């Protein structure tokens, strides 16, 4: 990962046009090409970003990031204060908490609660940037990727968006659409999901547990 602290301006064109006036910012570039620009006072959310796959072209005073969707991010650098690169090694992946892991297991056994007729293809379907929680199919043969969170926030929608980009590169699966499932989903996450064409579904964890308990009692032969 490359971390650059620089005084810069940023101009984005694509889904909309955006401009960041000159200021000192952190530019983070991951090994896969994903680039994010942070300020010191904007919590964890970047001011602007471009997810992989990207093309990053750099000169001494300008970085140009572009992708196949016609998006373009231009970083004009007037001063570099720090420029370091670290090899983070292999990441073991996210370890889900008990509720989130159990919710995934419950929905894997009952994907139709998310959408009528939905059936499971595989849990933890691998992509080159990590596994998507559930890969499912509709009765018509459409592929659906499902990302599951206990609390649904913007970061989870962005994560699913990245998975969809990778899955749609596979002609055996494309086109793939997404369902973002959580016990609760923030209004901001719903807005982003709608803009990305992703369906946001709130699920009743306690209700699913009751169904599971009823099924276990039904088949208990003691």
DSSP state at residue 42: S
pLDDT band at 218 (very low <50, low <70, confident <90, very high): very low
Contact indicator for 35, 27 with CB cutoff of 8 Å: yes
Cα–Cα dist 110/203, whole Å = 12
Q: Which CATH number fits domain 98-217: 3.40.1350.10, 3.60.15.10, 3.50.90.10, 2.60.40.10?
A: 3.40.1350.10
Out of 1.50.10.10, 1.10.3720.10, 3.40.50.2000, 2.70.180.20, the CATH code matching 2-85 is 2.70.180.20
Tens digits of residue pLDDT in 58-75: 998 999 999 888 899 999
Confidence of residue 78 (pLDDT cuts 50, 70, 90): very high
Question: What one-character-per-residue DSSP string does 127-182 give?
Answer: -BTB-EEEEEE-TT--EEEEEEEEEE-HHHHHHHHHHHHHHTT-TTT-SEEEEEEE
User: What are the sequence ranges of the domains in the chain?
Assistant: 2-85, 98-217
The pLDDT tens digits for 23-62 are 999 999 988 888 999 998 766 678 888 888 888 899 989 9
pTM above 0.75? no
Predicted pLDDT at 216? 43
């Amino acid at each position: 990962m490359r971390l650059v602290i620089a005084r810069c301006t940023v101009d984005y064109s694509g889904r909309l046009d955006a401009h960041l006036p000159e200021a000192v910012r952190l530019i983070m570039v991951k090994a896969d090409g994903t680039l994010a620009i942070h300020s010191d006072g904007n919590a964890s959310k970047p001011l602007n970003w471009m997810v992989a796959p990207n093309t990053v072209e750099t000169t001494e005073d300008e970085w140009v990031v572009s992708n196949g969707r016609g998006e373009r991010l231009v970083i004009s650098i007037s001063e570099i204060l720090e420029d370091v690169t670290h090899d983070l090694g292999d990441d073991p992946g996210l370890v889900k908490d008990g509720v989130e892991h159990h919710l995934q297991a419950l929905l894997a056994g009952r994907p139709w609660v998310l959408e009528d007729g939905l059936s499971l293809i595989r849990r933890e379907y691998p992509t080159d940037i990590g596994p998507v929680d559930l890969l499912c199919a509709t009765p018509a043969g459409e592929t659906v990727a499902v990302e599951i969170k206990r609390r649904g926030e913007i970061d989870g929608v962005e994560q699913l968006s990245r998975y969809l980009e990778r899955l749609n590169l596979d002609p055996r699966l494309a086109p793939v659409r997404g369902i973002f499932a959580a016990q609760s989903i923030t209004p901001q996450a719903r807005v982003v999901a709608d803009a990305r064409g992703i369906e946001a579904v709130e699920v009743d964890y306690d209700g699913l547990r009751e169904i599971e308990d009823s099924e276990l009692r039904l088949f208990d032969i003691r």
